[in-house]
């Protein structure tokens, strides 16, 4: 796998050659994959439709915006 890294991030990575960046990336990818597998297991028995999920997300965002005085 090849990753594109922004120049600013690459500069930081080059300053810290003591870090095994491939291991950092591998761990981050494994963590994300585990989160997705857990989400798949949780959602496997869900009766929510995509439309339901979008509506719930909209209501949550609206509530957060109101709480922070953005609406």
pLDDT tens readout for residues 11-43:
999 999 999 999 999 999 999 999 999 989 988
Q: What is the pLDDT of residue 44?
A: 87
Q: What is the pLDDT of residue 11?
A: 98
Q: What is the pLDDT of residue 47?
A: 87
Q: Tell me: pLDDT of 7 over 90.
A: yes
pTM, 2 dp: 0.62
56 near 62, Cβ under 8 Å? no
CA 24 – CA 30 distance, rounded (Å): 10
């Amino acid at each position: 796998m090849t990753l594109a890294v922004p120049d600013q991030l690459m500069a930081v990575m080059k300053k810290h050659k003591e870090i095994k960046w491939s291991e950092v990336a591998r761990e981050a990818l494994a963590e994300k994959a585990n989160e997705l597998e857990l989400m798949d297991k949780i959602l496997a028995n869900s009766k929510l439709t995509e439309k339901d999920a979008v509506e719930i997300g909209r209501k949550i965002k609206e509530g957060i915006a109101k709480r922070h005085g953005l609406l």
